[in-house]
Structure 1
């Protein structure tokens, strides 16, 4: 594991607070440094006024002076709840690599809070269930870190990008913002290859290098609005309105919310949206396994009739293995 020097010093302090005594060898192994380097970190803590005591010789160890504890972090109940829920929600952003770090941060937060807030935070994970949408795309946390660094430092990046068609290109980009939208992470900025503003899906970025060259981002640039406007629109030709016999909460994990509205109605959910392929949409609705009623368009009811005829053929007498169902030749 890689640490920067300041994080190593804080890790030493964290271990000393969590345990009565820690040997120099244990600290060296945990931080992946030499015992002499551990001594420098301890000296740094002492310079900051932290009373670290050491025992020299074989099996030498370090400890905080008895009775010393850093004051608890001062959070209101709402602030502590917000931090804890935010850490739990990281898994919903496709950043599974950060799950161990989020767990460690949650434990540190709980240890530093007063007793009453600590009990609330410790019980939170067992009391709350957060359901990740099936549309979330897993994202490399290190890649996102590099993107955020380039945005923060206003430095260009060189990256390899793979298009929808599978074609890879080398790009130099001025990154303005990172955006999370509809389950995916995007980087938005000026592409020097295309000479225009572009968005890049992080799951299609290969290698990325933060360059030394700097740039000045445009003032008051709304990356989210740009991304929504620039994403290719689905050629939707049918306005769909369907009643489904399940709650909106139960359906949100199964239905893409892009271009779709779900609202509670008559003990179920009103589904309204735009769809271009009614055949696949009819099959999708059947796959939900809930009661449904088609209110619009009439063509969708025709798709269900055709789908029913196809299912009747497939459910009939077993066909010879050499035969394949052909919806064209089987049409009435």
Structure 2
């Protein structure tokens, strides 16, 4: 903590958290001399913050009782963290919060000192965040309702539509809400199944918080549970170069165990797949040149499918 402005803010934070702090303790926490602490206190007073001091042996400082600090006082790193966090909301699938994030960002910028405001504006102009096609949109209102239920430890009722199945009415004690691999999940005890379950938020509707409290298990690790229910690693590691940019592939390639990155004017696709036959057929269906760098089995599968296609064409 070598930046003097950071030390001044630390003095303020300590004064907010304690009724009174001695000068000796401030000097020890900040690793400075008592005289330097006096300069930091004077700086706060110059900013209009009413810090009162008691002189003599055991001298101490405190904020004037009843004083309300301005709602926003951030360090440079805190301001940048907030600005980045607001921009990243849509990358968590919370597109409905985009207007709120823009409004909060505008308020943040207006309330910052000039130097910090310029840093945040530089971030807005200089940083690009790629919107992954694998992030599933999530209803922010539904998420907020689930978070209230988790906080209050009350069960919820909702309509759930699992993949290729009819909608069912569920009641669950939701222990945690988790974001993993582009999707939001509610994890807890399903009363219909009588067991621990996870529910995708994009498949939930009509969430209602019930007047039915529950006690969650201690130290429950929802993320570990959710990872344990995910499919095992794929049998084959695939590496293919495609002669199209990544943005033209987004929405056409499954996001399961798939990574797309620009390379040599095209796209490097790294993926894990169990069924090379169906993946080879998918590649043949793409309207672009490609090069398979691995595994060799995929190249052989493409060759066999190509030979079969040629043979079928010769019949007509």
Task: Please give the TM-score of this superposition, normalised by the length of structure 1.
Answer: 0.63
> Where does residue 129 of structure 2 map in the other structure?
130
> Where does residue 240 of structure 1 map in the other structure?
237
Mapped partners of 2:263, 2:106: distance in 1 = 42
Mapped partners of 1:109, 1:225: distance in 2 = 35
Decide whether the 8 Å contact of 2:242 with 2:288 is kept in 1.
no
> Where does residue 276 of structure 2 map in the other structure?
278
Change (3 A) 1:90 1:265: closer
Change (3 A) 1:288 1:92: farther
Cα deviation for residue 183 of structure 1 reads 1.2
Deviations 1:48-71 (A, max 9, x none): xxxxxxxxxxxxxxxxxxxxxx75
Mapped partners of 1:112, 1:121: distance in 2 = 12
The alignment's C-alpha RMSD in Å is 3.6
Mapped partners of 1:114, 1:263: distance in 2 = 38
* Match runs of 1:89-238 below 5 Å: 89-231=88-230, 233=231, 236=234, 238=235
Cα deviation for residue 259 of structure 1 reads 3.6
Change (3 A) 1:250 1:208: closer
Decide whether the 8 Å contact of 1:133 with 1:252 is kept in 2.
no
Mapped partners of 1:224, 1:288: distance in 2 = 39
Paired residue total = 246
> Where does residue 303 of structure 1 map in the other structure?
301
Deviations 1:107-129 (A, max 9, x none): 11111111011112123222211
Decide whether the 8 Å contact of 2:80 with 2:120 is kept in 1.
yes
| Structure 1 unmatched ranges of 5 or more | 1-69, 314-325
Cα deviation for residue 133 of structure 1 reads 0.9
Mapped partners of 1:117, 1:310: distance in 2 = 64
Cα deviation for residue 240 of structure 1 reads 2.8
Deviations 1:61-106 (A, max 9, x none): xxxxxxxxx7583222111111100000001111111000000100
For the residue of structure 1 that corresponds to 2:121, the secondary structure is: helix
Decide whether the 8 Å contact of 2:259 with 2:270 is kept in 1.
yes
> Where does residue 50 of structure 2 map in the other structure?
none
For the residue of structure 1 that corresponds to 2:239, the secondary structure is: strand
Mapped partners of 1:102, 1:150: distance in 2 = 24
Mapped partners of 2:250, 2:172: distance in 1 = 34
Mapped partners of 1:251, 1:239: distance in 2 = 25
Decide whether the 8 Å contact of 2:277 with 2:301 is kept in 1.
yes
Decide whether the 8 Å contact of 2:241 with 2:290 is kept in 1.
yes
Mapped partners of 1:139, 1:291: distance in 2 = 34
For the residue of structure 1 that corresponds to 2:145, the secondary structure is: helix
Cα deviation for residue 309 of structure 1 reads 4.5
Cα deviation for residue 142 of structure 1 reads 0.3
Deviates more, 1:120-129 or 1:170-179: 120-129
Decide whether the 8 Å contact of 1:72 with 1:114 is kept in 2.
no
> Where does residue 16 of structure 1 map in the other structure?
none
Cα deviation for residue 273 of structure 1 reads 4.7
